[in-house]
Chains A and B, each alone.
Chain A
Amino acid sequence: MQTILALFWLFLKVNLLSTSGIASVGLLHQEAVGTLVTESQFVQAVSFSSVLPGSDALQLAMFIGFRVAGLSGAMAALLGSILPPTVLMLGVVTILHRLRREAWVSRFIEGLTPAIAVLMIYVAFKLMLGGNGGTLNWEMLVVGAVSLAAFIFDAPPPLVLIAAGLIGIFIFP
């Protein structure tokens, strides 16, 4: 029960402090890796949620919830992720339609965005350093450089991730 509550609270927090699926990975990594999930499980969650169709944020939540505490964990994580946007959206369309005119919420998000971006780079850096048992080797750098080039040339992320995984099968025995 403790874990279920922890999952719910984790995703409630993550979805209050991020604006989209991929933007939430920074905070998620900081809050969950090492306590609830391992680094490897985190990488699986991020990549499979980008590969599969449908909302990344929800898939991220469900994958992690499932790995931590099975079906009930997945449901707790899903609920935690759905609640903040639902409540806020309903609040906006019903009572707070003037929210945009006051504009403090949009300024909050504007201030939040650079912090989220920095956090994401920070976590990406940590992943590169810690993903292979602590040391960064040249194979990782090559795969990273090739994927970076692919993303810059607008290759579809699911294909890049799967290709990198397949290469990994051969170069990381």
Chain B
Amino acid sequence: MNHPRLETETVESIQPSRLSIWFRLFWMFLKINLLTSSGPASVGLLYKDAVGNIMTEAQFVEAVGFSNVLPGSEALKLAMFVGFAASGFPGTAIALLGSILPPTVSMLVVALAIQNFQNEPWMNGFIHGMVPAVAMLISVAAWKLFRGGKNIRKRSLLIAALSLIALVLNAPTPLVLLGAGIFGIFLFR
């Protein structure tokens, strides 16, 4: 067990009842997930709400670092890490629940509503109009991801070129990604 540092720090600095911490966690993530629409955007809001309140700055930096390094939804990983730092495993579960509820409810409502308009001609035009915008949204996100705020490294370019070749040759996509990751383990030593 390598985590006691996380818990003791929180318990020493602030000591309200567990229940009130749980409630605050739940409310915090409910709010963040209602107000923002993506992981990175929620980091700023989360920082304001959580640091100095339920966790220290160092813990927060660690949480952001880990959620960038592990695969899977960024928003969820961040929520779970903050929840854990604040209140152990129950905190993790509560933060997760608070994060899942808003997108689930809003998406189900929209998915249901959309179904009714599926065959309307204007819906078709609406979707067609969104295609180029979605394509650009994806491209811009790809560019930001690739640059990652730092200089582009030669090794990244090599991996990018190899992946492109593999994709054009119709290699199975999961294998291409897996291969790139494994390549990275050896290249980025």
B61 CB to nearest A CB, Å: 12
A19 CB to nearest B CB, Å: 6
Number of interface residues of A (CB under 8 A): 103
Q: Is the CB of B136 within 8 A of A50?
A: no
Distance of A122 Cα from B167 Cα, bound (Å): 8
B residues near A95, Cβ cutoff 8 Å: 1-2
Number of interface residues of B (CB under 8 A): 89
Segment 120-149 of A: residues with Cβ below 8 Å from B: 120-125, 127-128, 131-132, 140-141, 143-144, 147-148
- Residue of A with least CB distance to B163: A115
A-B contact pairs, 29 of them (CB 8 A): A25-B138, A54-B37, A57-B74, A58-B100, A58-B103, A59-B107, A62-B103, A62-B107, A78-B100, A94-B2, A97-B3, A110-B156, A111-B183, A111-B187, A112-B177, A113-B145, A118-B146, A119-B177, A121-B138, A147-B133, A147-B137, A161-B133, A164-B129, A165-B127, A166-B129, A168-B128, A169-B125, A172-B125, A173-B121
Q: Is the CB of B76 within 8 A of A58?
A: yes
B14 at the interface (CB under 8 A from A): no
Distance of A46 Cα from B135 Cα, bound (Å): 10
Q: Is the CB of A167 within 8 A of B184?
A: no
Chief secondary structure at chain B's binding surface: helix
Q: Is the CB of B108 within 8 A of A74?
A: yes
Q: Report which B residues bind A (CB closer than 8 A).
A: 1-3, 6, 33-40, 65-77, 80-81, 84, 89, 92, 96, 99-100, 102-104, 106-108, 110-111, 114, 121-122, 124-143, 145-146, 148, 156-157, 159-160, 163-164, 167, 173-174, 176-185, 187-189
Q: Is the CB of A151 within 8 A of B80?
A: no
- Residue of A with least CB distance to B3: A93
